[in-house]
Amino acid sequence: MSTSPMERPVVYVDESANSGQNLLDPHQPVFTVAGVHLPDYLAASIVDEVRGQLPRNLREPKYTSLAGSGGGRKALMNAFARLPEGSVRTYLVHKRFMVMTKMVDVIVEPMAHRDGYNLYEGKETLALANMLHLASPVMGDADAYDRMLQAFVNWVRQKATTDELYAAIAALKTSAQSQQFAEYVEVLEYGRPVADETAAEIASQGHRDELDPAIPSLYCLATTFGQTLGKFRLVHDASKVVDRNTTRLHTVHFLPDPARPGEFMNPFMGGIEFADSKDHPQLQVADWAAGATRQWAQWMAGGGGDQFSRDLEPVVRPWLIDGIWPAPVEGSET
């Protein structure tokens, strides 16, 4: 006998550092999303305990304010220690690397597919993106690589032409210090016919959220919860981008899975609702988990950090289920 939607388990979700399609914001190099599955009584007890350690005039204990003081950091660590194993799961995105993965996905993979190659099946797309991301600033000109990434972002957002994008790709190729690296950059040039077609599609249909990390991150996070909980209710903190893409998420199982030829994407197991974190202590815990994961990952990405950023590592690593990252993160499937 199936359970009614209101009787299903509930997963509460919040994000940290979402700059939308502006993936090259130097002040926000990492995006994270956290999901929390906790009983009401335990979530309320954890939040109340944190509030009891803070000044009474602090209205809502957001991660940013808590992490800015010694007392707040201590309260956070105490709260994290009370979370049951498996109750928190997070997904992270290295935004600059995501731009490179999108370049490969959008202009290289479709061209290879036309020639009969599935670059997803053996993770060749990820390997190519990794190589270009890590080698371009070393084997080419770092500024040229930055300009190419920005040109691609502008192109997707219809602020740059395909000619301008490929001029930036050519400039990176010209800066190559070896023929082998130049040949890897040429793989991007190989996809020019696809880019011309995609530019026309973007102009006619609009891809408002094509580069926003929130949707693919939420899909991956929800998939892992669905594997253990079955169908569940997903309560998300207010999010315009998630609201715009709710139908897309609920119909994703009608789309073919490029990594599994002949099969479709896994269904999105959660019915999406939106709520205010003030009304749900689980959303406050999700805010803390997303913020802590983001702070640690930003330190990992070289974006600055202090001892507390490093102290978070043993806490947040067990939460991490996957991510878009330029090199494997130990303990994850990134």
Domain that holds residue 119: 96-205
Q: Helix crossing, 162-174 with 192-205: angle to 10°?
A: 150
The values of phi and psi at residue 249, to 5°, are -70, -40
**Residue finishing a domain among 178, 205, 232:** 205
What's the whole-model pTM score? 0.91
Task: Give how far the C-alpha of residue 37 lies from the chain's centroid of Cα atoms, to the nearest Å.
Answer: 20
Instruction: Tell whether 137 and 285 lie within a shared domain.
Output: no
The values of phi and psi at residue 31, to 5°, are -115, 140
Cβ-contact 10, 232 below 8 angstroms: yes
Instruction: Tell whether 190 and 107 lie within a shared domain.
Output: yes
**Range 254-261 average pLDDT:** 77
Number of domains in the chain: 2
Tens digits of residue pLDDT in 123-137: 899 999 999 999 999
pLDDT at 39 over 60: yes
Contacts of 164-171 with CB under 8 Å at 24 or more apart are 165/195, 166/192, 166/195, 168/144, 171/141, 171/144, 171/147
**Range 147-175 average pLDDT:** 96
Q: Is residue 333 part of a domain?
A: no
Which of the two residues, 222 and 118, has the higher pLDDT score?
Answer: 222
- What CATH number is given to the structural domain containing 56? 3.30.420
Instruction: Tell whether 184 and 222 lie within a shared domain.
Output: no
**Residue finishing a domain among 172, 205, 238:** 205
Q: Is residue 73 part of a domain?
A: yes
Tens digits of residue pLDDT in 87-110: 999 999 999 999 999 999 999 999
Strand 10-16's sheet: what is its strand order?
270-275, 232-237, 10-16, 30-36, 88-94, 320-324
pLDDT of residue 255: 85
User: Tokens 């490969």 — which residue?
Assistant: 104
Mean pLDDT of the residues in the chain: 91
Instruction: Tell whether 219 and 316 lie within a shared domain.
Output: yes
Q: Is residue 331 part of a domain?
A: no
Q: What is the DSSP letter of 107?
A: I
Query: Percent of the chain at pLDDT above 90?
Result: 73
| 275: number of Cβ within 10 Å | 14
Instruction: Tell whether 67 and 148 lie within a shared domain.
Output: no
Instruction: Tell whether 134 and 161 lie within a shared domain.
Output: yes
pLDDT of residue 4: 64
Q: Is residue 329 part of a domain?
A: no
Instruction: Tell whether 72 and 43 lie within a shared domain.
Output: yes
Instruction: Tell whether 218 and 316 lie within a shared domain.
Output: yes
Instruction: Tell whether 90 and 149 lie within a shared domain.
Output: no
pLDDT of residue 236: 97
Q: Is residue 330 part of a domain?
A: no
Token code pair at residue 315: 């806490």
pLDDT of residue 294: 97
Token code pair at residue 226: 């669905």
Q: Is residue 250 part of a domain?
A: yes
Instruction: Tell whether 77 and 103 lie within a shared domain.
Output: no
pLDDT of residue 269: 84
Confidence of residue 333 (pLDDT cuts 50, 70, 90): very low
**Range 45-69 average pLDDT:** 87
Instruction: Tell whether 296 and 247 lie within a shared domain.
Output: yes
Residue 23: partners with Cβ closer than 8 Å, 6 or more residues away: 95, 96, 98, 99, 153, 211, 213
Angle at 187 between CA 185 and CA 189, to 5 degrees: 80
Tens digits of residue pLDDT in 71-90: 999 999 999 999 999 999 99
Contacts of 257-262 with CB under 8 Å at 24 or more apart are 258/109, 258/118, 258/120, 259/120, 259/121, 260/121, 261/118, 261/121
Q: Among 25-29, 59-63, 103-107, 244-248, whose mean pLDDT is lowest?
A: 59-63
**Range 286-315 average pLDDT:** 92
Confidence of residue 282 (pLDDT cuts 50, 70, 90): very high
**Residue finishing a domain among 173, 205, 237:** 205
